[in-house]
Structure 1
């Protein structure tokens, strides 16, 4: 009977865990603490990311039919208003007399140059900044002329343009005529661009040409801008903002072409959507459990590898100092009297 009790006492229905998990060491405690702290930090970051959401960028074919949109501009040119004209032409052979919509205001001096940049670093705006600056506005006057004889001319206003390839010209009056060729010394196309955008007018949006300038010492000088315009939609918390972005390149020449400021623009057939998204709760939960499980397994393997390397470098006797071993199996804590009752 005693032999049967001994066999049953020594029997353990559960498989033995690895010896490294049967020994309590200072190293193991420290590694466990670091693992728990790291997992807590990771869970906190993931929960914060789930609450805040993420920014999703997508491109799609622009399926909204738009026949026209607005061109908003505010440009100051270093020439008198009486010597300048503005025209808009597009690929449909439609020509607009922009002077009927734009305002020409003569100025004695240019705007303060320190407000403008010659070269501007292109930075993608944040969705929060777009929503914070999405206050629309419009020019309340149009077709007005003031102080045509002053040396600087501010040209500003909104033009309705066809949504096709087109060009905006700021040249001397009589573009291509004898007047322009006979008096090039009277026209200088140094300019400051305060605003140049397409679509609804949002004065606080930062476009690539906004607050930039170009300077030339020559009167017969050509500035040619080429713009590629992309419709853009911003979405957050149920708020949608439809506007545009554009990429810009600048070419200059002297005494080769007709002097002036030429802006060629073209509209891309694609649309960019910038939206704030959130994972579903179940997707987030599965992701969180997967990450925690993966980190836990990796930490265990790293600890085992470290123990192996230390045992090789320092020897097992050194590593065993201060160990607290667990003795016995599952049934070892039962005394004889209790075992008899079982």
Structure 2
């Protein structure tokens, strides 16, 4: 058995130095303490990173076209409700009278505090995973087709509209403009100033920030056109088993005033109103919080610890050599442990 143990020791890839041949010093003790401190700091960082996980973003082809997607709207338009006509039309020419689902409540036109008015919507901070999870409180509008106080000077429009997940347009125009109607609103009564509290796609999460939320436009022109172009990307947020299925979108806008003479000469002129044109991208974004496997985490800690010890040993030896070159052997030997009894010891 002893013979076998001796043979195994000869194959030791990491031979150890016997304690009687080791020399302790103040610099060596300080470097050891510093190495342990760095090791504990790295251990703390790695454990925190493991528990906190990491954010993984993946794109995949959207292979499902939803037929029950919803557009969520909450806005104020500066015209009486009885003057307004709402409609949805998609690329398949499928029309839906949005007024049957939306609620119309007469009110006075006002701009809530904190709204961005007449600013270009060319910048928007995309909410991160933590923000979405904190604000992912699902809600629904309790009423549909409500009509209250329609003779008021402005109209509060709110509700959800079921649409197909294809390219389409949601329109708010005056009665008699663009559609045959028994009543045509006088030009001087048109006013498409508006304040948007909510405009989103999919499940209604009222606290998630969207590009058109808390924005608006105010005008004194009667024949004004506002066109919003939205590029919608279906997005799934995942964290600790919780899944939020929603839609992000980017927005570009265009607005102009119609010249009455031009409108009479061109039959294809877009009627004055507010237009939300949307197009769904054929991809889906998945944002998920993940953690590395536990065995991989342990192996990572071992690799970091071993690398730290090796690097600390090389740096300490390099430091000792620099001291030897700059100050000589006498300075290097200061503070080292003295061992007596060797045959070369001075008498």
Please give the TM-score of this superposition, normalised by the length of structure 2: 0.80
The 1:328/1:45 distance shift into structure 2, 3 A limit, reads farther
Match of residue 159, structure 2, among 148, 157, 160: 157
Q: Secondary structure at the match of 2:116?
A: coil
Q: CA deviation at 1:27?
A: 2.9
| Aligned equivalents of 1:262, 1:247: Cα separation in 2 | 15
User: What does residue range 48-63 of structure 1 map to in structure 2 within 5 Å?
Assistant: 48-63=48-63
- Map Cα deviations across residues 170-225 of structure 1 (whole Å, 9 max, x no partner): 12222237999994443232211111111121222222212222233433322211
Question: Is the Cα–Cα contact under 8 Å of residues 109 and 155 in structure 2 kept in the other structure?
Answer: no
Q: Secondary structure at the match of 1:106?
A: strand
Correspondence for 1:138: 140
User: What does residue range 37-116 of structure 1 map to in structure 2 within 5 Å?
Assistant: 37-112=37-112, 114-116=113-115
Q: Secondary structure at the match of 2:85?
A: strand
- Map Cα deviations across residues 242-298 of structure 1 (whole Å, 9 max, x no partner): 221111222222336543211111111111112222221111111111122223323
Correspondence for 2:276: 263
| Aligned equivalents of 1:67, 1:128: Cα separation in 2 | 29
**Most deviating of 222-231 and 25-34:** 25-34
The 1:109/1:263 distance shift into structure 2, 3 A limit, reads closer
Match of residue 305, structure 2, among 282, 292, 302: 292
Q: Secondary structure at the match of 2:45?
A: helix
Question: Is the Cα–Cα contact under 8 Å of residues 176 and 185 in structure 2 kept in the other structure?
Answer: no
| Aligned equivalents of 2:340, 2:227: Cα separation in 1 | 86
Q: CA deviation at 1:15?
A: 7.3
Question: Is the Cα–Cα contact under 8 Å of residues 175 and 185 in structure 2 kept in the other structure?
Answer: no
Figure out how many residues of one structure are paired with residues of the other and give that number. 313
Q: CA deviation at 1:325?
A: 4.8
| Aligned equivalents of 2:46, 2:232: Cα separation in 1 | 37
| Aligned equivalents of 2:170, 2:314: Cα separation in 1 | 66
Correspondence for 2:195: 192
The 1:169/1:326 distance shift into structure 2, 3 A limit, reads farther
Q: CA deviation at 1:228?
A: 1.2
Question: Is the Cα–Cα contact under 8 Å of residues 77 and 154 in structure 1 kept in the other structure?
Answer: yes
Segments of structure 1 that go 5 or more residues without pairing to the other structure are 1-12, 330-342
Correspondence for 1:320: 333
| Aligned equivalents of 1:208, 1:109: Cα separation in 2 | 22
The 1:63/1:178 distance shift into structure 2, 3 A limit, reads closer
| Aligned equivalents of 1:171, 1:98: Cα separation in 2 | 12
Question: Is the Cα–Cα contact under 8 Å of residues 59 and 284 in structure 2 kept in the other structure?
Answer: yes
